[in-house]
Structure 1
Amino acid sequence: MSVMSPPPELFQRWVHVHEEDEAGVRVYRPADAPLPPARGRDGIEFHPDGSLCQYSPGPADAPIGRDGAWRVAAEDTLEITSSRGEDQFQIVSIEPDELRLRPRHPDPVPSSRR
C-alpha cells in the first residue's frame, strides 16, 4: 500500500468479527459476508474522499453510525478521527474479504508521572 493510494478493497463497509481476533489484531469482514450471530458488532466504512462512518451497536443492537475522517499516516498506518477521538492502526492486511488492523496505542504514562 502506498501512502497516496490505498487499495480499492478498503472502500467498503467492514464489520468487526471479534471472535476471529488474535494477537492484538482486529479482524473485519465485509458487511454482506455471512457472520456468526452476535449481539451487535462494531464496524467501519471507508470512503475514497477521506470520510468514514464508524458503527457501534445502539438500542436493540441496531448499528448507529458516527461520521469521521481517515488518512494514510505512513506506509502501513491508518489514522482515524471521529467523535471517539483519534486512533492509529497498523494495516496488517487488506484483502477483498478480510481487513486486519492492529491498534497503535500511545505509550502508557509511567505510574510515577500520573
Structure 2
Amino acid sequence: MAAKLKPNHLCQEWIHSTEEDSDGEAVFRPADYEFPLTRRPRDFFTLHADGSLIKGQGTPSDSLQEDQGSWALDNNEISFRTQDEQLQTYQIASVASDKLVLKK
C-alpha cells in the first residue's frame, strides 16, 4: 500500500464478505453492498471518526451480538478494542470505497 491511510478513509460500516475471503485475507464491503443471501448473520464493524467502534458478531444461535469499543489507525494497521475482547490488530492489505481487505 503506497499512500498512508487516513482514518476518514475507513469511517463507515463494513460487513464481512466471507465468500471473497482467501486463506490469508478477510474481505469487507460497505453496508449498501448487495451481498448474496446467507443463513448466518454477517459479522460487521462500524468505524466512527471520533474513534468509537460498534462491532457485531454472529452467535451460535444465529443472532447478532453487538459490542462497543474503540479503534485506531497506525500507518496501515488497524486496531480494535471492545469491552469484551482484547486488542486486535490487523494489517490493511488494501482499501477502496467499496472494499476493505485485512490480512488474517
Using the size of structure 1 for normalisation, the TM-score is 0.77
What's 1:11 paired with? 11
What's 2:87 paired with? 86
How many residue pairs are counted as aligned between the two chains? Answer: 100
State the AA in 1 paired with 2:78: L
CA RMSD between the two structures = 1.9
Secondary structure, in 3 states, of the residue corresponding to 2:87? Answer: strand
- Structure with larger Rg: 1
Query: Can you list the C-alpha shifts for 1:22-63, whole angstroms capped at 9, x where unaligned?
Result: 131100011121101111110000000111000112586443
Counting only pairs closer than 5 Å after superposition, residues 34-113 of structure 1 correspond to structure 2 as: 34-38=34-38, 39-58=40-59, 61-73=62-74, 75-82=75-82, 83-103=84-104
Structure 1 stretches lacking a partner, 5+ long: 104-114
Structure 2 stretches lacking a partner, 5+ long: none
CA distance in 2, matches of 1:60, 1:13: 23
CA distance in 1, matches of 2:59, 2:29: 20
CA distance in 2, matches of 1:102, 1:96: 18
| Deviating 4+ runs (over 2 angstroms) | 57-64
CA distance in 2, matches of 1:42, 1:96: 19
More helix, by proportion: 1
Q: CA deviation at 1:100?
A: 0.5
Secondary structure, in 3 states, of the residue corresponding to 1:34? Answer: coil
What's 1:30 paired with? 30
Query: Can you list the C-alpha shifts for 1:82-105, whole angstroms capped at 9, x where unaligned?
Result: 1222110001111111111113xx
Percent of aligned pairs sharing the same letter: 33
Using the size of structure 2 for normalisation, the TM-score is 0.84
